[in-house]
Amino acid sequence: MNLQAAEALLRTNRSQLIDADKVTPQWTDDGFAYQVARDGENKLYAVDPLARTRTEVDAPPGQPGTGDFLAVVSPDGKYEVIRRGPDLWLRTVADGTERPLTTDGETDHEYGTNSFSVDVLLGKIGIPHLPPAAVWSPDSTRVLTHQLDRRKVRETHLIDVLPDGDGAPQLLTQRYAFPDDEHVPEQRYVVLDIGGGSPVRAQGEPQLVGVLSPITIKWAWWSGDAVYFLEQPRDQRSLTLRRLDPTTGAVEEVLTETGNTRLEPNQYGQEAAVTRAAGNDLLWYSQRDGRPHLYRYDLRTGELLGQVTSGEWGVRRILHVDEAERVVYFLAVGMVADSPYRQTVCRVNLDGTGFARITDDDLHHDVSAAPNGQYFVDTASTVAQPPVSTVRSWTGEVLVGLEQADVSRLLATGWQPPEEFRAPAADGVTEIFGLIHTPHDFDPAASYPVLNSPYPGPHINRTTPGFDPGHFGPDAEAFAALGFVVVAVEGRGTPGRSKEFHDASYRNLQTAGIVDHVAAIKQLAEARPWMDLDRVGVYGMSGGAFATVRAMGEFPDFFKAGVAESGNLDNRVYLQQWGETYAGPAGEQDYAEVSELDLAERIEGRLLLVHGGLDDNVQPHHTLRFVERLIAADKDFDLLIVPRGEHVLLGYEHHVVRRRWNHLLQHVAGVTPPDYRLKATPIDLEVIAKMLG
């Protein structure tokens, strides 16, 4: 057990162990700048890919606008859209003057806001709100936004028991719709003319809006002089592209696709893989043949012109469309035999011919395409191979070498890369993948306790195919330093594979893929006798906590203990859009099936429940409802409520992590927890940025 190494490998500390592992470009007119840490110092470089130069500089290049994080800058850099209460304002960059673009906003009927707030999280880091949901027209004369209507959405409440100044407890109120609610958030698109013309509102019925604004996730965009947006009914079994005339507000249908289950423009619940191609061609993402592929439509008539990509793999993201050459460049998954999740850069002509891999290796490629479409920044790695970052042309040629990560300090902790594995799912047919983290100073003759670390999605993968372990991986690395074998499984129902694989969670969220986790662990142990299946535990946060409780209730003889943090344990009272998307449509699904409450009496292992008192994502009553059932069943359990903690418990990790470690060391590994205190760490703004997209 190496406690110092475990602490160093935590999410809040791990970045200090690696130099130059990430390149995040700040685009300029003639290239980009980026900053990396090396030998304890931050280095700043300016890159001109066409001149094939990389130069260290003292200061970053000037960015368009005032540099205000909370502003949306116009393409010409002359104006910014900002929020003032429920309204949007225009700021002139040159002199800082401001004037209102809207004046009729009011509480719960605001312009440019998301339907779901993260106010507690933002308050911790001193940010009053997110940037407005607004997108400029290409000529910088108009702004597309929406007016959000939550006035009839149910109110829910949190209690801040320790408000600033130590006053009396305060009531915090949210608009928070549950699955099957009659009233859910709606919005209407509005086009604002910065020249002073009257706002133009979209005609027809308002649109349903999910957790995030459709503008934020790029479900609405400008194309020339028109606005296009995607729309779904509440059952999500159809997806429609509509055209909005920004001068009249007239809305017309371009095309609609229907299906028997939910339709998605991206399996990951993020920005749509839909874009205008050359002229009047539209690239449309569809899984109609069982895999995520691109189809070409006539943008004027909605006529299908042909399938652009096909095969036993899938399109992950469109990178660039060369209109002159009529070629689309994209990221694909499923082309690497070792891992179906590694990304490959590919190209194909818009008529479906000329398919080719641009990156012809078996590495995972994390890519940022230049706004001018002339090249891309590529970071290539695997779970075992540290990242190498370059600038490449669309032929795959390396234009500029950027960085090769230095992982010497990481290796000095005793860290070892995880092992990628494949195993049959519980159905005995479907192949699933995952990672095994082995203990430091591993001895195959020894016997080690096992932890399952689930996150069942269906909108996020638990594992990553590259060297960056993602949000959940550092916890597994820390447990490996404590002497555990940690198994992370991508069970059926998670994203990134086929339509059938993803749909395994549709109207079946209650399985949480745990049957596949148990099947995989048992099979892995057959060839790895050092995995002690008499000492198996499980832990997770949010959806991972849901899976943790499900695992302990469904397999009480297999899982000896667990830690469930910030868990949505009763999806009847969780986010409306999330439940209706993944558990099943409103009016057709019994959401009691995705509640964990009835599992309380089946829990046999020792369970630690952790929740933040100000969690405005999964509200703390989820855990308290389950506690009530555990008490009724007279079960022994442990409970930690962090009074001012939000969903990810930022600022409290040193205590929460220690409690997590000690619980699993005692009740799974069977050892007395050491008297070890972790150092408190500052809030990691990079982690917050990832969470906020």
Residue range 304-338, pLDDT digits in tens: 999 999 999 999 999 999 999 999 999 999 999 88
pLDDT at 207 over 50: yes
Residue 24 is classified by DSSP as -
Reading phi first (left if > 0) and then psi (alpha if -120 to 50, else beta), residue 263 is in: beta
Q: Tell which wins on pLDDT, 225 or 449.
A: 449
Average pLDDT over residues 31-38: 93
CA–CA dist 202, 191 (Å, integer): 8
CA–CA dist 431, 67 (Å, integer): 48
Write out pLDDT tens, residues 69-116: 899 999 999 999 999 999 999 999 999 999 999 999 999 999 999 887
Share of the chain above pLDDT 70, in %: 98
Domain ranges of the chain: 3-11+409-691
Q: Quote helix, strand, coil % in the chain, to nearest 5.
A: 15, 30, 50
pLDDT at position 123 is: 74
pLDDT at position 689 is: 55
pLDDT at position 693 is: 46
pLDDT at position 686 is: 57
Does this model's pTM top 0.85? yes
pLDDT at position 685 is: 58
Class of domain 3-11+409-691 (CATH, top level): alpha beta
Average pLDDT over residues 455-471: 91
CA dihedral 235, 238, 243, 246 (to 10 degrees): 10
The residue written with tokens 């592209």 in the block is 241
pLDDT at position 576 is: 94
Residue 26 burial (C-beta neighbours within 10 Å; 0-12, 13-18, 19+): middle
pLDDT at position 416 is: 95
pLDDT at position 392 is: 98
Token readout for 244 is 């909005």
pLDDT at position 196 is: 85
Average pLDDT over residues 644-669: 94
Average pLDDT, the chain: 93
Write out pLDDT tens, residues 470-492: 989 999 999 999 999 999 999 99
Tell me how crowded residue 601 is: count the other CB atoms within 10 A of its CB: 13
pLDDT at 512 over 80: no
pLDDT at position 511 is: 77
Write out pLDDT tens, residues 394-437: 999 999 999 999 999 999 999 999 999 999 999 999 999 999 99
Least confident of 35-39, 107-111, 679-683: 679-683
Least confident of 274-283, 328-337, 382-391, 577-586: 274-283
pLDDT at 445 over 60: yes
* DSSP string covering 158-210: EEESS-TTS-S-EEEEEE-PPTT-S---EEEEEEEETTSPPPEEPPSSPEE--
pLDDT at position 688 is: 57
pLDDT at 525 over 90: yes
Least confident of 203-207, 352-356, 581-585: 581-585
Token readout for 536 is 């198996």
